[in-house]
Structure 1
Amino acid sequence: MLKDNLHDKVLEMTEKEKTVLTKIYEMSEKYPDQTALIFLGEKYNYKKLIKLIESFSSGISELGVKKGDRVMLYLPNSPQFLISYFGLMRIGAIPVPVSPIYTSNEIRYMLENSGAKVVICSDTNIGYVRAVEEVGVEKIVVTNVADMLPKWKKIVGELFDKIPKGSYEKSEKVFEFKKLLKKGESVEEAEIDPKKDIAHILYTGGTTGRPKGVVHTHAFLLSGIIGLRETYKEIKELENKFVVVVPLFHMFALDMIMSTTLHKANTAILMPKPNIDAILASIEYYEATLFAGVPTLYRMILEHDRVDYYDLSSLKFCWSAGDVLPAEVYKMWKEKFGIPLHQVYGSTETVVIAVTRLSEEPKLGSVGKIVPGRIAKIIDPETLEEVEGEGELIVTSEYLTMGYWRNPEETEKGFIESGGYLWCRTGDFVKIYEDKLYFVDRRKDIIKYKGYRIAASEVEAVLQSHPAVIAASVIGVPDERVGERIKAFVVLKEDARITAHDLKRWCRERLAPYKVPDYIEFRDFLPKSKVGKILRRELRDQELRRG
């Protein structure tokens, strides 16, 4: 069993702080004029950020949102995302962040499963919300990405066609985000029981093809963030600027922006989308010291034909997560910029598990040491007994008390009880050497593309919904640039006359762009087990033999 020596200290701090907002309020009181956020050149200090959070709390409360209500956040990286996220938490409501590039087909299930009656979205994706509002959406709060900018900046942006803008019809159920910020006096902060009350619900791909709602209590979420905060002592208050390009609906981004920035009175530079030149220009212009991304993003930066035009010498610490970091990317980054890529290893379910220490040179293959506030052990996946050496990693905390939202079947598969604790099964196979975790393998039915986790069965379900398809199986094909490409094997009805292009278009209309298969191979039949289950492993082996 692995447990960091700062474990008990983190638990004490969690009991004292109670929610992630506590430390942000503390930073606001200590450093009100320090810049908290920069977005498209506009700066928001900590005093202003707190005022906006409180104003939003008031506005959303007037719409009838109360403690325990789920509210979907369907927004890109922006001040509006953070204001909504924290403003909902402040009144005890439950944010449900989802990818802003999901289609209506994808958010439908999340709306139904979460029971969210209110959606906060951008004007560019409100159409997807309106397409599924019959599932119970009662109110829609809409914003433009530039709503928080001064009027003159918006005008200039629109003149040069730099601001994406969507159109929508006004109705009694559609409300403007910026008008909510002008509603009356701030409501009081809700009474929170951090060990029982839910902080947020994050949806992740599942092996059943349905997204799973991961439930984090305030205490569990906060303990992970404090664990990171205490681990990263080298990151001082008031001294750092963090370029945030990782999407905020992802646990990696939320972990990092709070532990390194908002809880330490540092500055977050929010990027609405991952444009390489914009990222490099922001690092240079703001003399950013912190950066985080998935391995694919680092490869794209290294291979960018204009990377040498930018001065990135201000960077002190960079983190990689979301996928296995290739050795050549690590070596190229270290050689070019003189600093290592540090690892952050975790999952949506666990918040964070292990990280490499900033005071040490990372060892290739290692994802670092267990973060204080988390307990881990290795088990035999068949017997569930603890083993030495190599096996499946399971993780717990004193505050891990919930499984998946309204999904007892998946909760039973993904969580086990042992020694008085509820443990999360990561599905990852690891080994331990000198107190460090080394990643060995992962659950094969999850495809990782550019840091995204894609359930093979979700893509299969969309393919099989096509009237010409009898059966489909989807696997990940290794690709050094993006991690894995999606390949589908499809069996058609005897008289079907459709092409791979037709099936890709079918998928594009029903899935986020990164979930659409890169390759489609037509087969007469698919390999099956004796009980009729399609054998993905055999298809993977066939691909490997092809080289």
Structure 2
Amino acid sequence: MDAADRLKQQLADRKIQRLLLQSNDPAQIVAALVACADAHTDLVIAHDYLDRGLIDRVIEDVSVDAVACQEVGHIRAVPGAGGSSEPASGKVLLMTSGTTGVPKVAAHTLDKLLDRIRATSSVESNVGGRWLLTYQPTGFAGLQVILTACLTSGSVVIASDRTPSEFAEAVERHAVTHISGTATFWRSFLVARRGLLAGGSTSPGSLRQITLGGEAVDQTLLDRLAAAFPDTRITQIYASTEGGALFAVHDQKEGFPAAWLEQGVQGSRLRVVDDELQVLSPRKMLGYASGQASPISGDGWLGTGDLVRVDQDRVRFVGRRDALINIAGSKVFPNEIETFLLSLPGITEAKVRGVPSPITGQAVLAEIVVEKGTDAEPVRRATMQSCRSQLARHKVPSMIRVLPAIEVSPSGKKA
């Protein structure tokens, strides 16, 4: 009897309603998904980097009554657990990142999580692929990669270490065919790949599909990817823990067609309210199992928190609502300045954030990474000069710092 069968038997025998699994192992995650679906038990997939205190808080908030042990075929009961007030039905409960506190837990049905994957599983280029896992496997994006590999008779490739150089070496070593990652991942991957090529490695030529998601994507990055991989399909995917898999863009242009605001796309409807993108999708979460107020309105629309700008026939992402910088009453979008910085020579990564200012309330701080082998100070001075000559005064950074690397969160985004 394999792990999924053993787990299913225990769930049924002990009448477990809600199970928590804390594991980074894709095989364990899949086994738990199969067992819980068959036993009609809800599964909470927890990030492995959360400490015991946060896990205990989630167990209480979400009414978990059992926890999967390290060997997934076995479980332990949660002492004093009263069980969930709602009947178990095999739901999949996914966490937000939790990097700033207790994560929210979004409830999905397995069918809805598989909906977009099933729609593309028969595409010839997806069948039998080798998928590099760049995302945290316990998050929405990572789980989508794992499930896609399962439904397309593919395999998941896990780098020995989550560093750009190890990811690049894993692609060569295992002839990876599909990579899905954040814009931050792809910028660092391009740098690492150049290092391998300079060292005598040959480009594997196996890559069929590049997918970008989780962060706003600038045109400069899309152009660099197209130049580096001219025969590879490049897709931007828009999805979130709350919204599910929403839509994909294949035209290698920043943003998405404005016509979709009227026509809808891939089963979802889109609208812009107070500069925020809102979506009405059959694949969105059922709600937060952790009790927080839902961002879904009474008529089913989900506020994404992503601010956009409609520019003729294109809708472009300008930043997150919660990341806005207020400079003496003027709004500054960090993403807009980052996009500008990344278009300048010598810069491979950039992060912009607001810092306190006694005069304007906030000021703009820019952090950049320069190309290896480049003298950092001339690049920093030239960058400041470009900002002063080409950006509006309130958007000019008060300081530009050169860093060896930009910190990345477990979700693959800029921390």
Compared with structure 1, are the counterparts of its residues 93 and 366 closer, same or farther at alpha carbon in structure 2 (3 Å cutoff)? same
Give the corresponding residue for 1:197: 89
8 Å Cα contact 1:196/1:217 also seen in 2: no
After TM superposition, give the deviation of residue 204 of structure 1 in Å: 1.8
Indicate whether 1:222 and 2:114 are aligned.
yes
2:298 to 417, 420, 425: 417
After TM superposition, give the deviation of residue 316 of structure 1 in Å: 0.8
CA distance in 1, matches of 2:257, 2:209: 16
After TM superposition, give the deviation of residue 254 of structure 1 in Å: 1.9
After TM superposition, give the deviation of residue 273 of structure 1 in Å: 4.4
2:190 to 283, 302, 310: 302
Q: How does 1:89-238 map onto structure 2 within 5 Å?
A: 89-120=37-68, 141-142=69-70, 177=71, 180=74, 197-204=89-96, 210-227=102-119, 229=120, 233-238=123-128
Indicate whether 1:393 and 2:277 are aligned.
yes
CA distance in 2, matches of 1:179, 1:377: 42
After TM superposition, give the deviation of residue 306 of structure 1 in Å: 3.4
CA distance in 1, matches of 2:245, 2:42: 20
Give the corresponding residue for 2:78: none
CA distance in 2, matches of 1:267, 1:206: 28
Identity %: 16
8 Å Cα contact 1:216/1:402 also seen in 2: yes
What amino acid is the match of 1:365? G
Query: What SS does structure 2 have at the residue aligned with 1:255?
Result: helix
Query: What SS does structure 2 have at the residue aligned with 1:235?
Result: helix
CA distance in 2, matches of 1:221, 1:322: 17
Indicate whether 1:79 and 2:6 are aligned.
no
Name the count of aligned residue pairs. 335
Query: What SS does structure 2 have at the residue aligned with 1:274?
Result: coil
Give the corresponding residue for 1:274: 162
8 Å Cα contact 1:295/1:323 also seen in 2: yes
Indicate whether 1:337 and 2:226 are aligned.
no
CA distance in 2, matches of 1:476, 1:431: 14
CA distance in 2, matches of 1:213, 1:437: 33
After TM superposition, give the deviation of residue 355 of structure 1 in Å: 0.6
* CA distances 1:521-546 after superposition (whole Å, capped 9, x unpaired): xx78995xxxxxxxxxx556978552
CA distance in 1, matches of 2:101, 2:202: 42
Q: Which has the higher contact order (CA 8 A, sep 6+)?
A: 1
Query: What SS does structure 2 have at the residue aligned with 1:407?
Result: coil
After TM superposition, give the deviation of residue 446 of structure 1 in Å: 5.1
Q: How does 1:324-473 map onto structure 2 within 5 Å?
A: 324-338=216-230, 339=232, 341-357=234-250, 361-366=251-256, 372=266, 374-381=267-274, 391-398=275-282, 402-407=286-291, 410-411=293-294, 414-418=295-299, 422-430=300-308, 438-445=315-322
Tell me the TM-score normalised to structure 1 length. 0.52
Give the corresponding residue for 1:317: 209
* CA distances 1:276-334 after superposition (whole Å, capped 9, x unpaired): 34433332233221111111221222212632125331101111111112333322222
Compared with structure 1, are the counterparts of its residues 178 and 253 closer, same or farther at alpha carbon in structure 2 (3 Å cutoff)? closer
CA distance in 1, matches of 2:44, 2:105: 9
Give the corresponding residue for 1:253: 142
Q: How does 1:14-93 map onto structure 2 within 5 Å?
A: 51-59=2-10, 61=12, 64=14, 66=16, 68-69=17-18, 71-93=19-41
* CA distances 1:381-410 after superposition (whole Å, capped 9, x unpaired): 4xxxxxxxxx432223346573212425x2
CA distance in 1, matches of 2:254, 2:211: 14
8 Å Cα contact 1:343/1:367 also seen in 2: no
* CA distances 1:358-401 after superposition (whole Å, capped 9, x unpaired): xxx422333897653x32121434xxxxxxxxx43222334657
8 Å Cα contact 1:77/1:271 also seen in 2: no
After TM superposition, give the deviation of residue 60 of structure 1 in Å: 5.3
* CA distances 1:179-232 after superposition (whole Å, capped 9, x unpaired): 749xxxxxxxxxxxxx993521112269996532211123432334334x26x7
8 Å Cα contact 1:221/1:351 also seen in 2: yes
Give the corresponding residue for 1:466: none
8 Å Cα contact 1:296/1:483 also seen in 2: no
8 Å Cα contact 2:236/2:249 also seen in 1: yes
What amino acid is the match of 1:330? L
Compared with structure 1, are the counterparts of its residues 105 and 341 closer, same or farther at alpha carbon in structure 2 (3 Å cutoff)? farther
After TM superposition, give the deviation of residue 348 of structure 1 in Å: 0.7
Query: What SS does structure 1 have at the residue aligned with 2:320?
Result: coil
Query: What SS does structure 2 have at the residue aligned with 1:197?
Result: coil
Compared with structure 1, are the counterparts of its residues 289 and 401 closer, same or farther at alpha carbon in structure 2 (3 Å cutoff)? closer
CA distance in 1, matches of 2:226, 2:283: 37
8 Å Cα contact 1:201/1:216 also seen in 2: yes
CA distance in 2, matches of 1:196, 1:202: 15
1:284 to 168, 172, 191: 172
CA distance in 2, matches of 1:250, 1:276: 20
CA distance in 2, matches of 1:272, 1:84: 24
What amino acid is the match of 1:396? L
* CA distances 1:493-533 after superposition (whole Å, capped 9, x unpaired): xxxxxxxxxxxxxxxxxxxxxxxxxxxxxx78995xxxxxx
CA distance in 2, matches of 1:417, 1:341: 36
Aligned-residue RMSD, C-alpha:
3.9
Compared with structure 1, are the counterparts of its residues 206 and 375 closer, same or farther at alpha carbon in structure 2 (3 Å cutoff)? farther
8 Å Cα contact 1:295/1:324 also seen in 2: yes
* CA distances 1:154-187 after superposition (whole Å, capped 9, x unpaired): xxxxxxxxxxxxxxxxxxxxxxx17749xxxxxx
8 Å Cα contact 2:39/2:90 also seen in 1: no
